[in-house]
Every structure is written in structure tokens, then in C-alpha cells.
Structure 1
Amino acid sequence: MTTDNIFINDKCLETLEYNKIIEILITKASSNAGRELCKKLLPSSDKKVIDKSIEETDAALSYLWKSSSISFSGLKDVTKSVLLLEKSGSLNAGELLDISSLLYTTKGVCEYFSNEDGIIDNEGPLKTYTENLNPLNSIKREIDRCIISEDEIADDASSTLKSIRRHIHTTGDKIHSTLSGIIKKDAANGYLQDNIITMRSNRYCVPVKAEHKKNVPGMIHDQSSKGSTLFVEPMEVVKLNNELSELYSKEQEEIAAILQSLSNMVATSSREILNDYNALKYLDFVFAKAKFAKDSKCSKPIFNDKRYINLKQARHPLLNKDKVVPVDVHIGDDFNLLIITGPNTGGKTVTLKTVGLLSLMGQAGLFIPADEGSNLGVFHNFFADIGDEQSIEQSLSTFSAHMTNIVKILESADSDSLVLFDELCSGTDPTEGAALGISILNFLHNLDVRTLATTHYSELKLYALETEGVCNGSCEFDVATLSPTYKLLIGVPGKSNAFAISKKLGLPDFIIDDAKSKISESNIAFEDILDELDKNRVEIEKARAEITENRTQTDNIKAEYEKKLKALEERKEKEIAKAKEEANKIIEEAKAYADSTIKELRKDASVGDTKNMDRTRNKLNEHLKKNKTNSSIAKSKQSKTYKASDFHIGDKVKVLTMGADGIVSSLPNPKGDLYVQMGILRSLINIRDLEIVDEPDIIGAPIKYNKSGSGKIKMSKALSVSSEINLLGKTVDEAIGLLDKYLDDAYLAHLASVRVVHGKGTGALRTGITNYLKKSSYVKEFHRGLPEEGGDGVTIVEFK
């Protein structure tokens, strides 16, 4: 990232601990090239450059939230190899494998950004780096086919190499066979030191005792350190060894030819390979920034041209995020100078560093650990005088060292600067130090420099009260517990707690009273005013807390009411369903009873028993009358006759025999049967048992409790969202991406439950979906399908 028009010395970056942020950022990159870009990252003062960098980080973070993490670990630096190829050079096996690794990473990144059709679908800020990526699959396949490792070329790299190696193997076998015979013969005569075949100078030899060298004729290639053993190449294998040496030479020549051929092939696409490398290197850097934002729970800062800072619940990124107290701080609107007072260890220095460090991070294109909506100005210069500046080498006191630094700041600071002073002009006479501090701050204030300063001097508090464009701030201190709250209060000067703390710790009252008598009445009055202001502030905050608590209680009562209302509705639905089920049961019993009665009537008729027939008929009428009394629900009939073409996927229908509503999820087959989804139950129903439910005009229908019109959208979505998603044949990553969007739509459509089809297979897809559902905020519970729901190949998901 460019650093045009910005001047930050290394000491300022170190003081504000920017370098430590970079050290963390480096760990988020997955390639050496990406880590180098992270290492060189510096803030910019060009708002266009900053906005571009921030938008790139935002785009990468969006991908991380909706997809699995992306890796660039296979990215290798191929710039030297490309330069060599452009000079018609030849690459070795290792360099060619690096190119293969780069192309493999390129392919993975292309798939990461591709849609279901395999097309890179990225119209955002990262399009510049993804649209021209080319994995060069044919080149990668050829390299992988020919090269096994840096030290091994595949036999099938060429037919010539395969033939040479076959001859090497055959010749080696002949040599071993011949030497084995020699060893067997000479070992019996005691000529050999060991019964082994060994290599010397790339020639097969046998170890012969020195005193028997005449008994084993051949060429001596080596001897042991003591000279007792000679390594002899028997004459019988000299010719074979010569043949083997020639074959090895031919093998190396062929390998060189293969590498040259591969190099020539790669050279034709050297520009594409270099483009892939540069694009992936930058993408690794951008995703490192996104991973930093995700892991540190950072948000996207908003930049302005007015040098206005408004940080909401800002946290110092190097402090424990579970313990650090967030601060709200702003400067640059009604005032350009903020003077912060408060006790030691009260958080004043942390506040200064937080403002400075978050400004640097934002201008470097990083997200910041603060709430959404935080604003940052664009500064050309950063200056910080923080910490112990005592210099032993220059024999300077702390005050002198601070003043040397302040002089340099005053020489360079302008209206485009952010200046931070910690304990301004401390370490000298308080009266003179306070006077100097006021003069320094007033100089910067008149230059319209955004300045934050911490101090213990009461004179600076008065200066802030009396000067337009200057504001007091304080770090709150609880006298009752003698501990800071680390809460920053803007507009409220910090009061001196020396007397109150001393009294709390047991200092006698007469000493405290004597000390007060030595302070001017104006100072005492000022401290009394601050004390009264602090009491009023505490009372106001207490009242505000009570209002918030009451509002929370009201919200809780409302939520409890809505919960009970929902439970009541669910109970109502269950009771209705139960009643329908009982009614259907009664009808089935009546039908069975009628069938048995008809059989009896036919039997009586065949024997002419009319009295018995009358008794049976009366008995049937009484049974039907009883069932009619017990149930007012009877099987409905179709109001009209439907054709198969009347039904469409997504139509809402009523299943007459079951008295239940459902959604058509398949078109009718030739027999008129189609599948209907009723909650978690999916059944095959004939169209003769269905009634199409006419829906009201959603666009014109009144929507209660929703003035925004979102109810209209949700009702429309409810009609279009299926209660089932089929993920068969998908990879885990593909399935999770599809499932994430589907659950969003289903939840917005107010579906009570859905059916996720993943099949049984190896179980990997089911496991991945299970792990995802455990983390979903929408899901109330889920379970594997029952036999009638699809068994282990299906997961039923119920929403909250």
C-alpha cells in the first residue's frame, strides 16, 4: 500500500506499537510472498488509496464469513524462474514443481471465487486480481506427469527414458548375478573380506582381502583405511559396468531433454504464470487483513475529509479483549484539543495509544477494534510524545528528553497532523510546567492541529474551560473502592482525589485540613465545583441506568408475552390436529363397522332372515348417529374436479383425507400422484385427494405489525421457498454455502421446519452439515430423518 504524502518516523510507529500489529498481521498470511507484503504495510494519507484498501479488506472478510477459509500456502516465488525462461534457460525439477504448486494454488483460488457453473463470479473490489487468473491445467498436468520429486523423474516422462531405465535394470541384474557367482566361489576359498556386493566410483565391486588380490583378477577402485581390504571390480563384470555407466549417462541426457522440453512449454505461458503469482500474492495479503479483522472482532471504519475522529467502544488491540474496558472518544467536531485528566493507572495513556494506533491501522487499510459506525479522519502526520523519554546516552533528564521531542513536533506539526502528549511538561516545577503546557497546547490549537493531551495540572483544566474549541476529558475514579473504572468522560474535567484518597486511607483530618488551608480559595472552589458536577453526573447516570433497566424489563415482559402467545398458538394447532386425527379415526372405525354390517345383511338376505336384517340395520343407524355426535369433522370432498395441469410446484394445497395443509413439491405422474410436503412429512398423494388453496393477493393484502413492507416480501418468499433442499453430490464446502443461503430464505419465509437431503455415502457430507447446524443461530434443533422421512440420508431441521 502506498505511503504518499505521509511522514511517520519509526519512533512514532514504535511508540504507538504499530509494529506489533504488523507482527500479528504477518501470522495471518499463508505464503512467504504474502507475509512480505504484510511486513511492508504502512499507512497512507491518500483517501482514495485508503478507501480502496478498506473495501478490499471488506470484500475478503465477506468471503470468509460465508465460505471456508482460503489458503495460499502453495504459492511459490517464481519470478526468477520466469526471468530465466524469458532468456531461453532451462528449469530444474524443483523450479518446475514450484510452478506446479503455484498453478495448483491458482486453481484452488479460482474454485473459491467460482459459482456453481465454474465461472469466477466476482464483481467486487477483488475482481482486478481474480478475473485474469489462469490455472493452466494442461501445463500443471504435464509437469506432474513427468516429475515425481526434486530428485526423481517419472519413468513415463518419455518412452526413451523408460527404455533406458529398463536396460539399466536388466544390466544391473546381470551384474548382480555374475558377482553373486564370484562371491559364492571365492568365499569358499577365503579370498573375500565380506560376502557382499558394494559400489566404488559408481562401479560394482567385491571386498577382497589384500593378501589374495592376485586370486581375484580385476580392477582395484579403493581400499580400506588400514589397507587390509581392497575393493576389486572383477574382470567378468568390467564390460557390464561399462555398459551401465553409458546407460546412466544416457539417462541424465534424456532427463535434461525432458526438463528442457517442459521449460519450453512453460515459457510459452510465462506472462500468465507471473500474473498468477502477483495476483495471488496480493490476495494473500488482503485475506490476511480480513483474517485479522475476523479474529480480532474488528469493524470497518468510515473515513472523512474533516479530520474528525469518533471512536465507539474502541479497544486497544494488543490488550486482552476480555479485560480491556472499551472507550468512546471523539475530537475534531466542536473542539480540536482534548485535555484528559485523571488518576495514574486510570487509562489515560491507553486512551491516547488507542486513538493513535487505530488511526494508523485504519489508514493502512485495516479494520479497527471498535463498534460499527466509528469515524476516522485522514492525517498526513502523526506525532506522539508518550512514555519515559530519559536518555542516558545524551545525559538528558526525563523533562529535557520530552522537551527535545516536543520541539521537533512543534517544528513539523500542521493542521493535517494528529498529536498525542502524555503528561505534558511533567518532571519540572509544576507552576512553570503548567504554564509551558498551556502555551504549547495553545500554539497547536491556533494551528487547528488535532491534539490529545493528558495532564495532572489543574491550570490546564481551567484553560480548557475558558478556551473555545478546547474540551476537558477525564478518566473516572471510584473513591469508594480506590480504583479507576477506565471509563473516559468527555466534557467533564477530572477532579483531584488526593484529599479524598488520603482520608480513605486513614490520614488524620487535621493534616488534611491543614493542607487545604494552604491552597488558594479559588482552587478549593474549583475542586468543589468539580465535586458537585461529578455528583450530578453520577445521579444522572444512575437515573439513566434505571430507565434502561425498566426498558429492559418491559422488553422482557413483551418477549415473555409473545412466547406464551406463540406457545398458545402451537397448542391450539396441536389440539386441532389431534381433533382431526380423532375424527379420522372415528370415520375409519365407522367405515369398518359399516363393512362388517353389510356382510351380515347380505348373509341374512341370503337366508331370508328379515327380522335379523332389521335388527342389524337399526344397530348400524345407532352407531352412525353416535359417531356423528362424537365428531363434527368429516372427510371433506373436492369442491371441484382438478386436472394434472392445474398443479404446480409450490402450490398450497389441502390434503382432504388428512385435513392438513401442504406445499406441492413435485408434478403429477401419469397416475395423478404427486408429492406434498406437510411440515416434516412428505407424502405421495393423488390429485383426487387434494384441494388447491387460493392465496390472497399478497401485494395488496394488509400486513399487520409491519410498516416497512417487509411482511410483503416475507409472504412472497414463503411461496417460493421449498421446504426441502437437495445437496446430493455436493462437496462439504459447496453444500455449506448452499445450505447457508437456503436456511436464510427458509427462516425469513417463516417455515417451521425443513428437510435437508444429503444421502448416506461416506458420512463426510452429513458430518459437515451437522457441524454447521450446531453453530447456526436460526436452528432450534435437528435430527436424522425417521424411516418415513427418508432415514439416515435426511436431516430434519426445526427453526427457533
Structure 2
Amino acid sequence: MRLLATSHFAELKQYAHVTPGVVNGAVEFDLATLRPTYRLILGTPGGSQAFAIAERLGLPASLLAAGQARRSDQGVALDASLTAAAEARQSAVEAERVAEGLQRRADEALQEAVAARREAREELQVARRTASAQATESAERLLASVEQLREALSSGSLTPSLAAAETAVRAAIASEEANTDDAGGTAAVTATEISVGDDIRLRSGARGEVLAISEDGRMSVALGGMRIQVERSDVSALLGRQKRAPAPVGRPTAAADAVARLDLRGARVEDALTALEARIDALLLAGGERLEIIHGVGTGALRDAVRRRLRELPEVREVRDADAPGRDGVTIALL
């Protein structure tokens, strides 16, 4: 037989708490609004809210105090315990709700992070697949620019604009090599595999012949009609070894005299120095040994900068004034 009984007697609540087969229960009461929620909670005895309701209804304080004084100590203690238990339960419910919200947001953040990582990997794979094709196309354009520059060098007059074009080509080559490295390009050929006369391919896609290798590992490479300096790490492949002794790359259509004079008048110092180094490379490739640099007189700033750079270059063995008198605006460089 099952029995459902309601009571305000604290003794009955205590009896249900200690007696097997008897369970306390209560209809939940909102302490903030002093209104029932009509939720049945098993395992927790309910407490009387008579005094709180009476106070809200305006019963005199003296009457309420007298009523409180007539309550038994056991009833007061039990009601206090019940109130504390209800507050603790409410706090636990609130904490559980907050924890569930935090867990839900953490799960969402984890899913977003996994999706972002997957998307980043896919984008990286696409970039790596397209990097090689882009590098090859860019290298072909750069080689065409180098060939145009070589033809300009062979004409015997390297203007500041052509010097700027040469600088742009070198910068573009360096940029393409860096892009190839970032895209996971081919590993560099080991240092012991390369020797003078070898046919190599650079990371930029350009193909050239090794003319010389310095002690610090830098290599002089004939690229089209010009010579450039590269590091061993810039070499991506060894295409073949030359059986003949290495020889300078010559210019079949241009004599040495065509590149023996460089007119820098009116050029900025930076452009003039770039043009000077490019002309020396061209002259060495053509087998020339003497370069006449026309810098003018002016303030002497361009002349001093040119002579200072000539003395820094290992290819120049002597720097001197022009042979003929009255040519203060000319410097002779012997290679």
C-alpha cells in the first residue's frame, strides 16, 4: 500500500528522513517571489514559508515575533536546515547550467578550430601544387627580360633606365627563388657535386653554366648573355658535366670595343653603380680588359663614388685617370 501525506509537522519530516520505506518530498517554492513552482522534488522535505508570507501580507512585526518565539527549537532548526538545503540546491542547479553552457561553447570552438585547420591544409596543398607552375612561367618571363638586357648591353650604351631594368630583373629572380623555397621546392644540390663547367638549373628555373667557384662557396654563373653571382643553395639541379675546360661566354655579334665605354653623366649615384657593375660583367664575358667610364666633372660626387666602387670590386686590378690630358671627367678601369 502506498500513502501520500502532507504535513507541516517537523517530527513527521524527521521520521521520514530516518525511516526506511518512507521518503520526504516537497513542492518547490521560489524564495525570491514567495510563489510555488508546482515542481515535486523527492528526497528533500519542504519548509514552511508561513512567516515570510505573513510578513509580506503586512502582519504586525510584534505578532510575527511572538509566533516565532512559540516555535519549538527542533522546528526552527529543521526549517533553517531546509532553507539552507534549498539555497544550496538552487546554487548547484545554476552552476550546472553555467558549466553546460561553457562546455557547449568549448565544443563549438573546438569544431571551428578543426574546420579552420582542415581548410588551411587544403589551401596549402593547392598553393604547393600551383607554385611550381607559377615559378616556371615567371622564370621564362625573367629569362626573356635577361635576353633583352643582354642585347642592350651589347649595343655599347647602358643608360640609367636599362640599369634599373637590370636591377629589377635581379630582384625578380631573387623573389621567385624565395617563393619556390616557401612552396617546398626541390632540395639544393650538395656542395661536393658542383664543379666549374657544370650545366646547372637554378631554383628560379634559369639554366646556366658554372664559370667559377669562390672559396666561400659563391658561384659565378653564365646566364644567357650575362654573369650572375649565386649561392650553392640556389642550385636546384645538376643537368650535366662539361667535358671541355670552362671558357667565358662570349658575344659573337659584339666586339670588345662595343662595351669598352660607359657614359654615366646625368645618372643618379645608385643607378650609376648598378650600371657600372653590369658593364664590367658584360666586358669580362666579351673578353675585354679595359673600361672607360665617363662620369663628368660636376661636384665630383659621382666620380668619387665610381672610383670607390671600382676599388672594392675584385674583378678590377687598377683604377686610374684618363690617358689624355683635359679628360678629368673620365676614369679608366683595368680588369
TM bucket, shorter chain: 0.3 to 0.5
Which structure would you say has the larger RCO, counting Cα contacts within 8 Å and 6 or more residues apart?
A: 2
Alignment TM-score, normalising by the size of structure 1: 0.18
Larger Rg belongs to: 2
Alignment TM-score, normalising by the size of structure 2: 0.37
